[in-house]
Structure 1
Amino acid sequence: MSAQLDISLLTWLLTIGLVVALLAVDLVVAAKRPHHVGIGEAAAWSVGYVAIAIGFGVWFTLHYGGGPGTEFFVGYLVEKSLSVDNLFVFVIIMSTFSVPDRHRHKVLTFGIVLALVMRGIFIALGATLLSLFSFVFLLFGLLLIYTAVQLYRHRDEDPDIEDNVVVKTSRRVLPVTDDYAGGDLFTHEGDKRMVTPLFVVLIAIGTIDLLFALDSIPAVFGITSQPYVVFAANAFALLGLRALFFLVQGLLDRLVYLSVGLSLILAFIGVKLILQWAHEDVSKSVPEIPTLLSLAVIAVVLAVVTVASLVKTKRDPSVKAHPASLRTRRASAGRSEKGQPQAADRRSS
């Protein structure tokens, strides 16, 4: 990994300002013009966000060098691939709670805001720990390998959203309305202030975002020790998540080997982190994995699992992909438009 960069406070503030500005645009569009997002619109937003990320990466490379620039692009690729698994779970959550199509734009945008906040907290914590204790590389590596094993073991299962303790507690203690009340989070029924099912959906997404942050932050720290690069890679990968959801939601069920691919990537980065720790704390003779090799491995794994998935589903259309989860069940119970339980399939989203 490259030496620590001297990132000025102004650069941090401008980067955060750019991210906040882009999020604000998403929030305004979601709140002021709720509508069905078509393929054309989703493709335009997706291309735009990728172009912004590439533009940032080029600027960063020109100002700080090829090494840090490569780390940003590899970190961005890792976070982008992990974010696809996020999309799987978002599909399941929205199907479980039967979120009306016109409100999904808003849910995704708020979900991304929550994810960025949580990742910001974990990035600050992770950077502090790494600066104080080099053995944190070992802990992060072991965590990623454990996660990779669990992801592979449960590769054919879906998260049990309804059994989430936070969601169940929210339903038990909060006054929840029967309908979505026009997409508001809070409403009044008579003199009583109520929350809508959309509020519970955001709680579900928030808890899922927390779990994903526990995996994604150690993964990108396996690519770079620069907190600024970690933040930027996460931020730009998540900013395009809303548009990517509407663009590829029909393709998600076909990525049947994605969980296997992600488990391989997490295991590889876990080994990379352990070797990094051993190189620094045990012996300089222990080899490190170069960033360019990491880029090649991740790109090859993603390409192979994507092609293999599409070939598999073409031969057997009945096969459906699953996001995998550490705590799962085989099928998720759905809920009607008014929030009442019913049988639902995430493919309906």
Structure 2
Amino acid sequence: MKARSALKNFVLWVSLAIVVNIFIYIIFGSEPGLEFLGGYIIELSLSVDNLFLFLLVFTSFNIPISYQKRVLTYGIFGAIVLRFMFIFLGVAIVNTFHWILYIFGFFLFCSGLKILFNKEEAVDFSDSKVLKIMKKIIPVTDDLYGECFFVRKNGVLHATPLLLILVLIESSDIIFAMDSIPAIFSITTNPYIVYSSNIFA
């Protein structure tokens, strides 16, 4: 995708989020409208980390650009499902045990300190624990087989490196969700506002 097309896509999705924000403001009032806007801005700023990580993963494993779209598409669907579960479970916990918000706040504070004081080091994704577990569960081929996630070799089902990348990206998104979802809980615990702003971002 060229820079101009990417910019058009970005403007399109931001515009759709703004339209939804306006509808929420008109139909439900100013408070939910402002909560959506605040949540969207927080989630959008935090999502930049995801993009850099995905770029690092793809370049580390030399995944051709033509295959990256398939991985990201499945990754997005996975994130939609996983974040739905996290958010609605999180809201239920917060509504039952309100004091847990302080734990979320402390967790975010510690994450900030870790980012502030840790020196940047080269990350070796091939040494990831997630990938090691995957390789124990199912045999993995050394080479890519087009856009396939699985392939049969001598009658035995093998995962391709593309599946490992998808699992790595999904597991990374879960870690990012542990930062971003508590952050938006500081604005609102309305599950629909939290989820919609999160997914648009």
- Rounded to whole Å, the distance in 2 between the matches of 1:175 and 1:107 is 19
For the pair 1:108 / 2:60, whether they are aligned, the reply is no
Partner of 1:161: 125
For the pair 1:189 / 2:149, whether they are aligned, the reply is no
Partner of 1:228: 192
Shift of residue 179, structure 1, vs aligned partner: 2.0
Shift of residue 158, structure 1, vs aligned partner: 4.8
- Rounded to whole Å, the distance in 1 between the matches of 2:68 and 2:120 is 26
Give structure 1 regions of 4+ aligned residues with deviation exceeding 3 angstroms: 157-160
Q: Percent identity?
A: 37
Paired residue type of 2:167: I
Q: Residues 180 and 163 from structure 1, CA distance in 2 versus in 1: closer, same or farther, beyond 3 angstroms?
A: same
Alignment of 1:55-204 (within 5 A): 55-154=19-118, 156-204=120-168
Shift of residue 160, structure 1, vs aligned partner: 3.9
TM-score by length of 2: 0.94
Confirm or deny: 8 A CA contact 1:114 1:206 kept in the other structure.
yes
Question: What do residues 133-179 of structure 1 show as CA deviations (whole Å, max 9, x unaligned)?
Answer: 11011111111111111121226235442232111222344221222
Largest Rg, 1 or 2: 1
- Rounded to whole Å, the distance in 2 between the matches of 1:80 and 1:228 is 17
Question: What do residues 17-65 of structure 1 show as CA deviations (whole Å, max 9, x unaligned)?
Answer: xxxxxxxxxxxxxxxxxxxx22222222211111111111111111111
Partner of 1:278: none
- In the alignment, which of 6, 10, 16 is matched to residue 52 of structure 1? 16
Number of equivalences: 201
- Rounded to whole Å, the distance in 2 between the matches of 1:230 and 1:149 is 25
TM-score by length of 1: 0.55
Q: Greater CA deviation, 103-112 or 77-86?
A: 103-112
Confirm or deny: 8 A CA contact 1:114 1:209 kept in the other structure.
no
**Structure 1 residue ranges without an equivalent (≥5):** 1-36, 238-349
User: 1 or 2 for the larger relative contact order (CA 8 Å, sep ≥6)?
Assistant: 2
Question: What do residues 240-283 of structure 1 show as CA deviations (whole Å, max 9, x unaligned)?
Answer: xxxxxxxxxxxxxxxxxxxxxxxxxxxxxxxxxxxxxxxxxxxx
Does the residue aligned with 2:146 lie in a helix, a strand or coil? Answer: helix
- Rounded to whole Å, the distance in 2 between the matches of 1:143 and 1:191 is 47
Shift of residue 123, structure 1, vs aligned partner: 0.6
CA RMSD of aligned residues (A): 1.5
Q: Residues 226 and 106 from structure 1, CA distance in 2 versus in 1: closer, same or farther, beyond 3 angstroms?
A: same
Alignment of 1:182-261 (within 5 A): 182-237=146-201
**Structure 2 residue ranges without an equivalent (≥5):** none
- Rounded to whole Å, the distance in 1 between the matches of 2:172 and 2:196 is 21
More helix by share: 2
Q: Residues 126 and 158 from structure 1, CA distance in 2 versus in 1: closer, same or farther, beyond 3 angstroms?
A: farther
Q: Residues 151 and 129 from structure 1, CA distance in 2 versus in 1: closer, same or farther, beyond 3 angstroms?
A: same
Does the residue aligned with 1:40 lie in a helix, a strand or coil? Answer: helix
Confirm or deny: 8 A CA contact 1:115 1:213 kept in the other structure.
no
Shift of residue 75, structure 1, vs aligned partner: 0.5
Question: What do residues 67-90 of structure 1 show as CA deviations (whole Å, max 9, x unaligned)?
Answer: 110110110011011100011110
